[in-house]
Amino acid sequence: MPPAFGDDRPVASPRSATTADGILRWLRATQPEAVTHAEKNPKGTILAPPTTRAEAVERALGMLQKPGRPYERYAPGPLIGKGGMGRVFAAEERLLGREVALKALNARFGGTHAIKKLLQEAWVTGSLEHPGVVPIHDVVLGADGRPAIVMKRIQGAPGGKLLHDREARFKHLGEEVDALDWNLGVLLQVCQAVRYAHDRGIVHRDLKPDNVMVGRYGEVHVVDWGLAVALEDDGTGRFPLASDAVAMAGTPCYMAPEMLGGEESRIGKATDVYLLGALLHEIVLGQAPHAGDGILAMVTSIMQPERPLPDDLPEEVRQLLSKALAFAPEQRFEDGGAFRRALEELLRHQGSRRLAERAAVRAATLAARTAAPDVDSGEVQELWSEAAFGYRAALEAWPGNAEARAGLRDAADVVARFELGRDDPAAALRVLASIDEPPDARVREAEDALAASEARRDDLERLGRDHDPRIGIRARAGVSALIVGIWTLVPLQLYLSGATGTFGRMRTGAAVLLATLAGASLLAGPVLSSTFFNRAFVQALAGVVTVQLLLALAAESLGLDPTQAQVVMLGLYASATAVGSATFDRRLTLAAVGYALAFVAGALWPAEVYLWITLGNATLLVTLLVANGALERRRPRRKRPPPPGDP
């Protein structure tokens, strides 16, 4: 809350006024020249009366009048600047041949008051050895007998000229720069100089764009320390004290409330913090905080308990300005260093926001392309990488950037949906796992899709294994060689012995084959029962032999001739191997042809039926051996470990 000022009648103390109008009446009564100055030039500095002790001034003037400090060592040049009391000339230091600047009093300011002010500025500025403060080289007596300050000449332009003028910045710097970034960078350097002064116990009291000099190469100097005051008395009497600063002083359109003056001084580090906030206000909003028409409007603005700020101002900027421009000094940042840290944090956040904004452009392109029918996975991955990189860079600069975190999450969700649409849930989960706090619903969807995909893959693997003829090939080769070998050797022996066919031999042969097949299947059971292909193989052999047995029984029951029944059996074998060629292996076509020829031969020469059976079975045996050999060559070989000592 603003201090209580009483009624609005003209009084001797500002504590007795409650409105800006009352304060203004008090100022007109006590400081008419200051009010007149403020009305004419609201951006001009209102000077405060000097508080330096008289003995300190007399001692300084005595030192200046001693021999050995002649003004003639400096060759004055043209006027390069002027202020309320002083003028600044370019000059040359004759001994060293270097350019310097001479600050001397205007001709109309010749009294002790003006001399005190000039010496105060020299003492304060000379006590601040910092890159952001113009170095004081010397103080000499001018030709008119008054002191002049010799300082480093700054080749630069005032910040007030460069703040809003794009062309002036370009002409001064020789390059195009982002106005906001550049101005904030200048303000950071101003904060460093102010922080140093605060650490030395000095308050500037007149921070404004025109009191900031910017060099061509980016160097920044805070100038015009004529209103500066010391927070503590060093005992020399040279420095004006903040406790004595009870009169209105400073630049009206930037003033902190306590700079209007009062019975007791409230000037402190927080006063400069307010002025730094006023500089930020002008950088961000384009005008000083108290840019009203007329002195009454400015005083009214200065005395507002809360600084009005535009609704569309970013919240973080609003909070920083509100704290820096708080009415009560104790509610502001502690000093220039604290304000600088807050501003640096704001700039880091601003940089993070810009990175996130650029990433958002890539993310928008990503979302659009994933919806397009002609997009490929490579393009999506490239866009995702670019967007994710930008968002992660933004979060690295500022982990609290909620927009960047949400943008990264949304972009990952877009890519996950795309990968799920391509039936690649593993890729979707990899993308989701690469971010913090991925969307739970999408993760569950991808996990369910992956589980279903793995189940389908397992089913396909089982199906492929069930139908893989390479599994159990040796067991099948052994069983088939045994069965077909017996099948071939027995009719050959009968043919060579001249035996004739009987139904008993047919039944016995079928029974022996079934028993042999059963025994071999038991010995190789785990292998021959492990896949559908092996089970079908065993069932096919058993089926053929069983049909042979049933055919023999049916033929005997019908009273057919055994030889004729065996010829019919060759037709059965031809049909069975033909079916096997179509379902198991095309190489069985050779056996089918062999049996078909044996069947025809048997029909023509039935007396030689055992020969035809032998030849047909031999063709089957050769076919099975060739087929199993080919499968054996195609079977993957297990890698053996290298012998000890091999690399």
Crossing angle of helices 20-30 and 32-40, rounded to 10°: 120
Residue 182, H or E segment: helix 179-199
Contact 149, 136 (CB under 8 A): yes
Q: How far apart are CA 424 and CA 381, in angstroms?
A: 13
pLDDT number for residue 11? 45
pLDDT at 292: 75
Question: How far apart, in whole angstroms, are the C-alpha atoms of residue 148 and residue 103?
Answer: 5
Read off the pLDDT of residues 237-255 as tens digits, 9 standing for 90 and up: 888 899 988 889 999 999 9
CB atoms within 10 A of CB 67: 5
**Identity of residue 482:** L
The mean pLDDT of 450-467, rounded to a whole number, is 80
Minimal CA–CA distance to 539: which of 531, 354, 362, 93? 531
Evaluate if residue 6 carries a pLDDT over 50: no
Q: What is the distance, to the nearest Å, from the Cα of residue 373 to the centroid of all Cα atoms in its chain?
A: 29
Q: Report d(CA 160, CA 315) in Å as an integer.
A: 26
SS percent in the chain: helix, strand, coil, step 5 = 60, 10, 30
pLDDT tens-digit series, residues 598-623 = 889 988 998 888 888 888 888 888 88
The pLDDT value given to residue 190: 96
Least confident stretch, 415-429, 513-527, 612-626: 513-527
Of the candidates 262, 261, 270, 288, the residue with the CA atom closest to the CA atom of residue 328:
270
Whether residue 189 is predicted with pLDDT greater than 90 in this model: the reply is yes
Task: Report pLDDT for 57.
Answer: 62
Rounded Cα–Cα distance for residues 599 and 615 (Å): 11
Instruction: Provide the residue type at 391 as one letter.
Output: Y
DSSP conformational letter for 104: E
Q: Are 156 and 213 in contact (CB under 8 A)?
A: yes
Q: What does residue 158 show for φ and ψ, rounded to 5 degrees?
A: -65, 145
Q: What is the mean pLDDT of the chain?
A: 83
Of 151-160, 409-418, 528-537, 590-599, which range is least confident?
528-537
Query: Does residue 305 have a pLDDT over 70?
Result: yes
Question: What's residue 70's pLDDT?
Answer: 59
Identify the CA nearest to 203 among candidates 116, 270, 278, 302: 270
pLDDT at 333: 96
| pLDDT above 80 for 631 | no
State residue 646's pLDDT score: 39
Average pLDDT over residues 157-175: 89
* Cα–Cα distance, 306 to 49 (Å, whole number): 30
Which one has a higher pLDDT value, 546 or 634? 546
pLDDT of 60 reads 62
- Given a cut of 70, whether residue 41 has pLDDT beyond it is yes
Residues facing residue 105 across a β-bridge: 86
Active site residue 206: yes
Rounded CA gap, 288 and 255, in Å? 10
Q: What is the mean pLDDT of residues 100-128?
A: 84
- Is the pLDDT at 530 greater than 90? The verdict is no
DSSP 436: S
**Distance between CA atoms of residues 31 and 39, nearest Å:** 13
Confidence class for position 61, pLDDT limits 50, 70, 90: low
Look up residue 230 and give its two tokens.
């010391």
User: Which listed residue (21, 144, 206, 585) is catalytic?
Assistant: 206
Q: What is the pTM of this model?
A: 0.64
Give yes or no for residue 256 having a pLDDT over 90: yes
Phi-psi region of 9 (alpha: psi -120 to 50; beta: other; left: phi over 0): beta
Q: What do you get for the CA distance between the two ends of the chain, in Å? A: 84
